[in-house]
Structure 1
Amino acid sequence: MEDYLRRIRDTLCQRKPLEKVHAVIGNKSCDFDSLISALTYAYYLDKTGQPDVLCLPVLNLARAEFCYYSEIRFILEELSIPESCLIFRDDINLLQLNEDAKLTLTLVHSCVLTSEDAALESAVVKVLSPDEGCAASRELRGSASSAVAREILREAPGLVTQQLAHFLRGSILFKCIASGAEAISDQQEEILSILEEKFPELPPREEIISDLDESKFPIHGFCFEETILKDMRELSDGEVKVAISTVYTTLEETF
């Protein structure tokens, strides 16, 4: 994975005109699930697609905002993947590529583009949503990573390395942190079992969940504005917009 990310990053740094680009991009909130799904599915496309097409994962946020995603940074550090290898939304002009008829697009996690990206709709060739469904009830329970893992295990199981399995398994398990272990569907359990049987040296599930859970809490060193922006979500009803922020802390720090 690291060699792949370095290669496409070096290609972009050369500043040469791009001819054919297949970008894989997650939702605007750019949560753990959509990030890992974009990385792994772009890697899969790179290995199985046409050699003249540049397949790249685009993280749907500006590079300066990545400091807020402590859980993502944690697992990338665990896998020795440097942040400099990642491609962020302000690193590539997807709108211009689409206008030049050079872009194809796969959406992971989200079924629809935001209003700012509506012009990219013509480039969309595939949508990978949680549990392959767009209903809100499924999205709450499902994981785009499980849909990605299912396709890779079905179409190209030889591509699944221990590192890739760690990526996908960690992303699926991360859903358990907020909803409890009972939220794992039968399909997700099947995928987890396949990955664990293939790589028995993977850390125990409880250890991964605990480590990822703890990775959400470090906000030391953030100023007030950064703390509020870290997990901010925007709700909109016509002209009215409401921003809601979540701040994680421990009982010891609170009381």
Structure 2
Amino acid sequence: GSSEGSSGIHVVLGNEACDLDSMVSSLSFAYFLSKTSGSSGKTVVPVLNIPRAEFPLRSDNVFLLKESGVPPEALVFRDEVDLAGLHRAKRLTLTLVDHNMLPSADIDLEEAVVEVIDHHHLERTPSTSCSVTVETVGSCATLVTEHIHHKAPEVLDRQVAQLLYGAIVLDCVNMAPEAGKVTPKDSQLACLLESRFPDLPPRGALFQSLQSAKFDISGLSTEQILLKDMKAVSGGDLRLAVSAVYMTLDVRTV
């Protein structure tokens, strides 16, 4: 309608891998902003940074959303929103979660970034216009949980808690110290979620089901299987794509 012609959109954008941590951080932080931003008049939208058609390839994401009762129709994907157009119309505000620099293709959106929450190495140049929380913990969802808990603990409901808990447990490899991912802060926030929501699925069982879902390729086409874990490398005129496929090959000797 015309009333929203000039209204602002605050997008919470995860990274281009759109792994479980990135998706959960985006959804949870956007939920927190929408509940706490009050009368700013901006519509808060979590945007998953892949085309919708690629979403079935993120089978652990699909699984956790289903378990947590979030319908896929409620999600907004990168190919469904014109961020550059919104920015040109001076309507875009951006929060980055699970990455702290926009890729070169999105560099024009840089001036819209007002906040960053991430657990990767900080590449961003500090500025007064952007608030940055970067700590090398196992999961970005840990930092989002901490932020919500400090700023507005009442916003943390069972559904959001399960999303955050799933991301932390998967990223930190079931909180096993020998995997080298978990930090004291990840453990602290996972315990906080467990104590606030004692009926969350048991940690080990949740990790196993997410891990199984992540490598589950049933229901995917061959093309989707090849795309699922593909890394593309380019140099000069050469473009090389390498796919990891998690399945036993049926080898027939002729």
Normalising by structure 2, we get a TM-score of 0.85
Alignment map for 1:41-190 (pairs within 5 Å): 41-51=29-39, 52-130=41-119, 133-134=121-122, 142-177=138-173, 180-182=176-178, 183-190=181-188
Letter in 2 for 1:222: L
**C-alpha separation in 2, matches of 1:140 and 1:216:** 24
Alpha-carbon distance, 1:122 to partner: 0.8
**C-alpha separation in 2, matches of 1:144 and 1:238:** 34
SS of the aligned residue for 1:200 comes to coil
Can you give the 5+ residue segments of structure 2 that lack an aligned partner in the other structure? 124-133
Aligned structure 1 segments of 4 or more residues deviating by more than 6 angstroms: none
**C-alpha separation in 2, matches of 1:159 and 1:110:** 24
Residues 165 and 190 of structure 2 are in contact (CA less than 8 Å); yes or no, is this contact kept in structure 1?
yes
2:126 corresponds to which residue?
none
Residues 107 and 124 of structure 1 are in contact (CA less than 8 Å); yes or no, is this contact kept in structure 2?
yes
Specify the structure having the higher radius of gyration (Cα): 2
1:7 corresponds to which residue?
none
**C-alpha separation in 2, matches of 1:108 and 1:237:** 29
Higher share of residues assigned helix: 1
Alpha-carbon distance, 1:237 to partner: 5.4
Letter in 2 for 1:62: P
**C-alpha separation in 2, matches of 1:33 and 1:56:** 17
1:5 corresponds to which residue?
none
Q: For 1:60-110, what per-residue CA distance to the aligned partner results, in whole angstroms no more than 9, with x for missing partners?
A: 011111111111111111122111110011111110010111111000111
Residues 173 and 182 of structure 2 are in contact (CA less than 8 Å); yes or no, is this contact kept in structure 1?
no
Normalising by structure 1, we get a TM-score of 0.84
Task: Go from structure 1 to structure 2 and tell me whether the alpha carbon gap of 1:206 and 1:30 turns closer, same or farther (over 3 Å shift).
Answer: same
2:131 corresponds to which residue?
none
Does 2:205 align with 1:217? no
SS of the aligned residue for 1:234 comes to strand
SS of the aligned residue for 1:106 comes to strand
Alpha-carbon distance, 1:201 to partner: 1.2
Residues 24 and 58 of structure 1 are in contact (CA less than 8 Å); yes or no, is this contact kept in structure 2?
yes
Can you give the 5+ residue segments of structure 1 that lack an aligned partner in the other structure? 1-10
**C-alpha separation in 2, matches of 1:16 and 1:53:** 10
Alpha-carbon distance, 1:114 to partner: 1.0
Letter in 1 for 2:29: Y
**C-alpha separation in 2, matches of 1:150 and 1:241:** 41
Residues 111 and 127 of structure 1 are in contact (CA less than 8 Å); yes or no, is this contact kept in structure 2?
yes
1:28 corresponds to which residue?
16
Q: For 1:224-243, what per-residue CA distance to the aligned partner results, in whole angstroms no more than 9, with x for missing partners?
A: 22111012233455765543
Alpha-carbon distance, 1:254 to partner: 7.0
Task: Go from structure 1 to structure 2 and tell me whether the alpha carbon gap of 1:239 and 1:30 turns closer, same or farther (over 3 Å shift).
Answer: farther
**C-alpha separation in 2, matches of 1:71 and 1:98:** 32
SS of the aligned residue for 2:76 comes to coil
**C-alpha separation in 1, matches of 2:12 and 2:84:** 14
**C-alpha separation in 1, matches of 2:214 and 2:229:** 10
Alpha-carbon distance, 1:177 to partner: 3.6
2:206 corresponds to which residue?
208
Q: Could you tell me the percent identity over the aligned residues? A: 37
